[in-house]
Structure 1
Amino acid sequence: MLQPARTKFRKAFKGKIHGVATRGSELNFGSFGLKAIEPNRVTSKEIEAARVALTRHMKRAGRVWLRIFPNIPVTKKPIEVRMGKGKGGLEYYVFRVKPGRIIFEVDGVDEIVAKEAFERAKAKLSIKTRMVKRLGTQ
């Protein structure tokens, strides 16, 4: 799973996801991309599962770029623990996705294969997404 090598702070606030993405909202590397259309937190497990589904359907042809990285720690207290006594321990890492953010980019495959691969990857993510393509691509 993806996680940062080191972080400045061990624990983070939950935070809110306001507005639309200004960074990472354009295709920079590939011809096709998977764009988020709703805000939510995406876990490192979801990202990895979607990436595996994407590359397996493409049969390792073409190239895949991952445009997000889970760097926000999420904590959780153990079950049946009373209130208080501080914040829980680190459980997993997430990325806060804003609407309009490109999550994956693909190049080197035709549009039909890319569309089917993105459909499989979309099923692994907890957010609504749509496929986008670079202008000038058939």
Structure 2
Amino acid sequence: MLQPVRTKWRKAHKGRIHGNASRANFINYGAFALKAMSPERVTGKQIEAARVALTRHMKRQGRVWTRVFPNIPVSKKPIEVRMGKGKGSPEYYACRVKPGRILFEVDGVSEQIAKEALYKASAKLPIKTKTIKRFV
């Protein structure tokens, strides 16, 4: 599961995801990509599940680039704990994804295989996505 080796702060504010992506919003590496269309927090488990689905469908041919990394600690209180008594401990790590962000890039496979693989990966993510193609 993806998580940072060390962080500057142990706990983070929840925050809100406003606006469109200004970074990682163009294809840099591959020929096909999965682009986020809605704002959401994507967990490390979801990113890993999408990556596994992607590589399995491609039968380990071609190349996959992951353009997101979960670096935000998400805290949670234990069940049946009364209100107050401070913030819960960090449970997992997530990535704040803005609309327009490239999540995965694929190269070295045919267009049909790439689109099917990216579709299967998008089923593992909690956001609306679309498959895009690099224009040369």
Matches within 5 A, 1:3-14: 3-14=3-14
Code of the residue aligned with 1:25 in structure 2: it is N
Which residue of structure 2 lines up, in the alignment, with residue 77 of structure 1? Answer: 77
SS at 2:73 equivalent = strand
Q: CA deviation at 1:70?
A: 0.2
> Identity over the aligned pairs, expressed in percent?
71
Q: How far does the alpha carbon of each residue in 1:54-84 deviate from its partner, in whole angstroms, 9 at most, with x for none?
A: 0000000000000000000000000100011
Which residue of structure 2 lines up, in the alignment, with residue 49 of structure 1? Answer: 49
Q: CA deviation at 1:126?
A: 0.2
Q: How far does the alpha carbon of each residue in 1:12-45 deviate from its partner, in whole angstroms, 9 at most, with x for none?
A: 0000000000100000000000000000000000
Aligned residues: 136
Cα separation, 2, equivalents of 1:22 and 1:83: 38
Gaps of 5+ in 2: none
Which residue of structure 2 lines up, in the alignment, with residue 134 of structure 1? Answer: 134
Give me the TM-score of the superposition, normalised by structure 2: 0.99
Gaps of 5+ in 1: none
Q: CA deviation at 1:129?
A: 0.2
The answer to whether structure 1 residue 118 and structure 2 residue 81 are counterparts is: no
Cα separation, 2, equivalents of 1:39 and 1:48: 19
Which residue of structure 2 lines up, in the alignment, with residue 27 of structure 1? Answer: 27
Cα separation, 2, equivalents of 1:90 and 1:20: 27
Code of the residue aligned with 1:67 in structure 2: it is R
Give me the TM-score of the superposition, normalised by structure 1: 0.98
Cα separation, 1, equivalents of 2:29 and 2:135: 13
Which residue of structure 2 lines up, in the alignment, with residue 89 of structure 1? Answer: 89
